[in-house]
Every structure is written in structure tokens, then in C-alpha cells.
A and B are shown apart, each in its own frame.
Chain A
């Protein structure tokens, strides 16, 4: 079988996610890594992508507002009362 052409930079950047998600075939993975080994620009690109993912993964979840938390307490108590049967139901 003929060896396929080597990848060019423009193709490499479009394969970055498949590479990071480990979704490349072994052969494409080797082509990808062969290109990285000789291309400083794509190496920088991949490093930027790693940094992008690191920063994105560190976004802080918004805190739960107290009044929202109260609504959930209400949801829980209603469920709990229904579950425990009519005897425990709070007065209407």
C-alpha cells in the first residue's frame, strides 16, 4: 500500500481534538506525531490548546443564591412528606 502524504499544518490543527480525545486511528496518530516532531508552530498550537483546556476546566461554578437554596429545601420537604405518607403531611 502506498504511504499517504505527510500532513500539512492546516490539516494538523483540524485533527487536534481527535488527537486529544484519542480518536485517531493508529496510523493517523503516527502521522500527526511525525508532523509535530518537525513543526514548532503546530507544537505551539497544541500547547495553546492544552492551556485553553486547562483554563476552561478551572472556571468556577456560580454559587447557589440562598433564596434558590430555600426553594430546593421546599422541594425536598414536599417529597419527603409525600413519601412518608399522609400521617406526616404538613397542615395545608
Chain B
């Protein structure tokens, strides 16, 4: 079951992971199997989740991740370190996913985006008629983290594929927004539109869960 990581733990592939990645990469280049395992361990989950935004099947997603690592190993001398290893890996994965013919949901942001908050919650003047209520200082004090993690996971699953990919890369894996654009081949504006809608949905899902307790 999905859980939350302890508060003080760094995101597994987040800031602070880059130096370790560089060291592991050096060791991998010299043929160190343990370094490869460590890299796979560290990046597997983000890669698999990203692959799942291209294909429905878990098995096919796993194949895409494996193909990606094969491509990474064979291209390891070509990695110049201009982007982070993580961005490079994920960009290769997206290329692999596209070249396997995976059908990507085309959720290109429209000019008239769905609002982040239901219009019914505002009055005619655009002010709140049903304002949000303050959540407890520490939400988990009232609701266990084990209750909220599935709320987020399930809402992510319900999102259109591209929106989910953007939110996962930016807010779960904590890539920078320019890295997200690079990996998914999105413009900065489109990335932010998708992110905005996705975050709006997550907040709403949490509000529904927290408000009902």
C-alpha cells in the first residue's frame, strides 16, 4: 500500500540525489554491478510510473523501463552530464515509450481550461461563496497519513495521462519545471497549465477527504 515517507527523508531522486547519481554513474562506467543496482533502485519507481502514463499494461510498462536501461547502458559513454542523469533517463524512457507505439493520451491544454475550483463556489462578483476551510496545522494529526496517501494516488490515477505525468514528475519526483518540459517535450506554458489543473484536482480530492472527517 502507498505510504508517506518520513518527513526528514529526501525525495529519492530529488535534490541532493544528483551528486550520488554522478558517483554511481562513474562506478557504473567502470563496470560496477552494485552501482547499477543502486541506480535502478533509485530511479525505477519514477520510470515505471512515467511509463504507465503511456501504456495501460503494467507488463508493457516494465518492458519499456528495461529497454530504457539497456539503451542507457549502451549509451553510457554518450552521456555528457549537461542534464541531470535523472532527466536523461526519463527522456530516453519517453522516446522508448513513443517508439514502441504506445498511444499517448493527447491532453494538450485547451484555450479554455477547466477551472481549478468549481465556478459554483464563487458569487457573481468572483468572490468566494463557499470558501475553503482551514485545514488543521498538521493534517495527519487528524487523519492518518495512510488515509491521505491513497487519496492522492487514486486522484493521480484518474487524471488524463499527460496531466498525471506532469504532476508526478514535478510534485512527486520533484524535477524542476524545465526538466519536466525537457522530458515530456512540453512548452513551459503547457506544462504549467497541466500542472495547475492537476494540482487543483489533488487539492480538491484532499479537501473532500479531510472535510468529511
Q: Is the CB of B132 within 8 A of A45?
A: yes
Counted as pairs of residues, one from A and one from B, with CB atoms less than 8 Å apart, the total is 137
A-contact bits for B22-62, CB 8 A (1 contact / 0 none): 00000000010100110011001110100000000000001
Are B192 and A55 in touch, CB under 8 angstroms? Answer: no
Per the bound structure, the CA–CA distance linking A79 and B66 in Å amounts to: 13
Q: Is the CB of A64 within 8 A of B44?
A: yes
Known contacts: A23-B188, A69-B40. The answer to whether A17 contacts B195 by CB under 8 A is yes
Contacts of A11 in B (CB 8 A): 126
**When the two chains form their complex, are residues B199 and A49 in contact, meaning their CB atoms are under 8 A apart?**
yes
Q: Knowing A45-B132, A72-B66 touch, does A9 contact B126 (C-beta < 8 A)?
A: yes
* Cα–Cα, bound, A60→B11 (Å): 9
Residues of B within 8 A of A55 (CB): 4, 139, 148-149, 152, 206
| Cβ-defined partner of B66 (8 Å) among A8, A49, A75, A77 | A75
Complexed CA–CA distance, A18 and B197 (Å):
11
Known A-B contacts A56-B167, A57-B174, A60-B4; A47 and B135 likewise in contact (beta carbons under 8 Å):
yes
Bound complex: CA A52 to CA B5 (Å): 15
A4 at the interface (CB under 8 A from B): no
Q: How many residues of B contact A (CB 8 A)?
A: 58
Complex contact B116–A16 (CB within 8 A): yes
Size class of the contact patch on chain A: 35 or more
Contact with A57, one of B70, B116, B172 (Cβ below 8 angstroms)? B172
Judge whether A1 is part of the interface by a CB distance below 8 angstroms.
no
Excluding A48-B207, A76-B37, 10 further A-B contacts by CB distance (< 8 Å) are: A8-B122, A9-B126, A10-B115, A13-B116, A14-B196, A21-B192, A55-B149, A61-B44, A69-B37, A77-B33
A-B residue pairs, 9 tightest by C-beta? A8-B126, A61-B45, A17-B196, A41-B131, A10-B126, A79-B73, A58-B4, A41-B128, A52-B203
Chain B residues with a Cβ under 8 A of chain A: 2-5, 7, 11-12, 31, 33, 36-37, 40-41, 44-46, 48, 62, 66, 69-70, 73-74, 115-117, 119, 122, 125-128, 131-135, 139, 145, 148-149, 152-153, 167, 171-172, 174, 177, 188, 192, 195-196, 199-200, 202-203, 206-207
